[in-house]
Structure 1
Amino acid sequence: MPLNISSSSSSASSFMQRLFKIIVIGVVAIWLLWLLSPVVVISAGERGVLTTFGKPDEQVYDPGIHFRMPLAQSMHLMDVRLQKGEGEGDAASKDLQSVHTRIAINYHLDPRQAVNVFRNIGPSTEIAADRIIIPAAQEAVKAVTARFTAEELISRRTEVRDAIGSLLRQKMERHGLVLDEFAIVNFAFSRSFSEAIEAKVKAEQDKLKAERDLQRIEVEAKQKVASAKAEADALALQRQQITPDLLQLRKIENERAAIEKWDGKLPGVTGGATPFIQVSPKN
């Protein structure tokens, strides 16, 4: 029985075409449902800005379910959660030293200003960081750094940080952004200035060590003087207590101790005849 190859190929091709049409229709239907959906869900940490034919509404929409007119209205989601940013730049100190500063900030979009930020900056906080925060941070760092000498930037770091943070906070608030935390990650100076600072610190440490050594020597000398004075006072007191009667008493005590130790034997004499007891002859 002969096989009809052309008929089976055409049926397979027809099936594939129908399947492709179904997939395309399904995708278009899903897109239309999403586009024409009147329901919008705003999640926690977001705020909504509703636009009608591109014009933003003045109301800021809180998290929850909201309705819109399909095709005519769109809901734009604005992230109001905490954001982190870092930046660095070069500036000059009051004594004209080159300073490379690196900073880190935490900030968020003021929910009440979501519409103004959307209208003036854009729908993304990343756009706000590029357009507002980085230039404002660089300007604040340069303005404050110029008030302090390079050495003061190190010794008065907290004051410098607060001054930069205050100035940056004012600039960000004008654009609907809130500065939560500001930190100076690092101050970097020229190599020659860093070496000069290290030499100064070492000299101060050597000075402190010399002062401590001098204090220790003075204390030891005072201790020796006090010890010698105490010994001299003791000897003087002993001399005052020595009297002829005391010397006679000590002599008697020594003789008594010698008698108590004597065993009654006379010492042997190997040469000469000089007894210590003489006997006179009778007449």
Structure 2
Amino acid sequence: MKNQYSQNWQTLVAGILAALVLLIGLNSFIIITPGQAGVISILGKAQDGGLLEGIHIKPPLISVVDVYDLTVQKFEVPAQSSTKDLQDLSARFAINFRLDPIKVVEVRRKQGTLENIVSKIIAPQTQESFKIAAARRTVEEAITKRNELKEDFDTALGERLDKYGIIVLDTSVVDLAFSPEFSRAVEEKQIAEQRAQRAVYVAQEAEQEAQAEINRAQGKAEAQRLLAETLKAQGGALVLQKEAIEAWRQGGSQMPKVLVTGGNSNSSIPFLFNLGNLQDTSAPQ
């Protein structure tokens, strides 16, 4: 009985020891996957040298490994500023960034979590960078030279975040808004420009119409001049006869009441008589 009790106790102790060995073994290494970096802390103190992808040995039970995502992170950050001409300007930036694996230990010591990095580093530095870019130009230049505004912002933000171990990959302006007063001024200016352009168009249209009238009048006068010269020249009577025949045809080929004919072949003055009068005189009384 006593031997059986001793054997059971030894089995229990062996099981506990095996469990402890397994637990210690599992806590003696850490696997860092691609796109991650780890920072090992022993008794609460971060150790130099970040842990990159692979298997790493660490002291069991007394160490903790904080793993950071090194892939591209995206956050939208609002910012407000005043322009060179003291107009209020607000924007929202979409910022793509990632952590520098070489400086991940410094990030762990100074900023801690990714949430702290965004709220305590990226957001205020975005605000300051936007102030620098906006203060260099007027509000109209911020509209017409938006690319230059973004370039100044990118330069200022990249320089400020680099010292924190944050690499800025790209930024984009999600929204750019102005004060209500400036928006109304822009709208009124656009309306005035549209009205001015409409007035210019109407003036040009009137000028073109007037020129067309002049051209038509000149053309008509030139035609009359040429006709007069033709009538004065030899053969003018033939022209009048031709005009009479054309008028006759256009009237439906009916006998006109007024017939134009030459007195003789050598006469330059046409002879006109009214056939209607002849018909009236020939009718029985």
Would you call these one fold, judging by a TM-score over 0.5?
A: yes
Q: Deviations over 1:6-27 (max 9, x none)?
A: xxxxxxxxxxxxxxxxxxx99x
| CA shift in 2, pair 1:200/1:250, >3 Å | closer
| CA shift in 2, pair 1:252/1:167, >3 Å | closer
Query: Partners in 2 of 1:253 and 1:237 — Cα distance?
Result: 16
1:157 aligns with 2:162: no
Count of equivalent residues: 240
Structure 1 position 222, deviation (Å): 2.9
- Preserved CA contact (<8 Å) 1:133 1:172: yes
SS of the counterpart of 1:60?
coil
Structure 1 position 254, deviation (Å): 8.9
Structure 1 position 175, deviation (Å): 0.6
Q: Which piece of structure 1 moves more, 236-245 or 81-90?
A: 236-245
Q: Deviations over 1:66-85 (max 9, x none)?
A: 33332344432111111122
Structure 1 position 133, deviation (Å): 0.5
1:167 aligns with 2:156: yes
Structure 1 position 44, deviation (Å): 2.4
Structure 1 position 36, deviation (Å): 4.2
For structure 1, the residue ranges without an aligned partner over 5 or more in a row are: 1-24, 273-283
- Preserved CA contact (<8 Å) 2:231 2:237: no
2:199 corresponding residue in structure 1: 210
1:110 is aligned, of 96, 100, 104, to 100
1:90 corresponding residue in structure 2: 80
| CA shift in 2, pair 1:65/1:220, >3 Å | farther
Q: Deviations over 1:34-56 (max 9, x none)?
A: 88433322122211223344444
Structure 1 position 168, deviation (Å): 1.0
Structure 1 position 167, deviation (Å): 0.7
1:181 corresponding residue in structure 2: 170
1:39 is aligned, of 17, 20, 29, to 29
2:283 is aligned, of 244, 266, 270, to 270
Give the counterpart letter for 2:152 in structure 1.
A
Query: Partners in 1 of 2:204 and 2:226 — Cα distance?
Result: 33
Q: Deviations over 1:149-208 (max 9, x none)?
A: 233322322222221221111101111101122223333333233222211121112112
| CA shift in 2, pair 1:234/1:250, >3 Å | closer
Q: Deviations over 1:238-257 (max 9, x none)?
A: 33333453133356779999
1:246 aligns with 2:259: no
Give the counterpart letter for 1:269 in structure 2.
S
Query: Partners in 2 of 1:79 and 1:228 — Cα distance?
Result: 84
After TM superposition, where is structure 1 displaced by more than 6 Å over at least 4 residues in a row? 251-258
Q: Which piece of structure 1 moves more, 141-150 or 242-251?
A: 242-251
- Preserved CA contact (<8 Å) 2:79 2:126: no
- Preserved CA contact (<8 Å) 2:40 2:46: yes
Q: Deviations over 1:55-108 (max 9, x none)?
A: 444433332333333234443211111112222243222222233333221211
Query: Partners in 2 of 1:35 and 1:99 — Cα distance?
Result: 58
Query: Partners in 2 of 1:206 and 1:256 — Cα distance?
Result: 56
Query: Partners in 2 of 1:255 and 1:56 — Cα distance?
Result: 116
SS of the counterpart of 1:59?
coil
| CA shift in 2, pair 1:66/1:220, >3 Å | farther
- Preserved CA contact (<8 Å) 1:82 1:108: yes
- Preserved CA contact (<8 Å) 1:90 1:99: yes
Give the counterpart letter for 2:65 in structure 1.
M
SS of the counterpart of 2:84?
coil
Query: Partners in 1 of 2:91 and 2:245 — Cα distance?
Result: 94
1:133 is aligned, of 103, 122, 130, to 122
| CA shift in 2, pair 1:229/1:33, >3 Å | farther
Q: TM-score, length-normalised on structure 1?
A: 0.70
SS of the counterpart of 1:61?
coil
SS of the counterpart of 1:245?
coil
For structure 2, the residue ranges without an aligned partner over 5 or more in a row are: 1-14, 249-253, 256-277
Alignment of 1:68-83 (within 5 A): 68-83=58-73
Query: Partners in 2 of 1:59 and 1:255 — Cα distance?
Result: 113
2:190 corresponding residue in structure 1: 201
Q: TM-score, length-normalised on structure 2?
A: 0.70
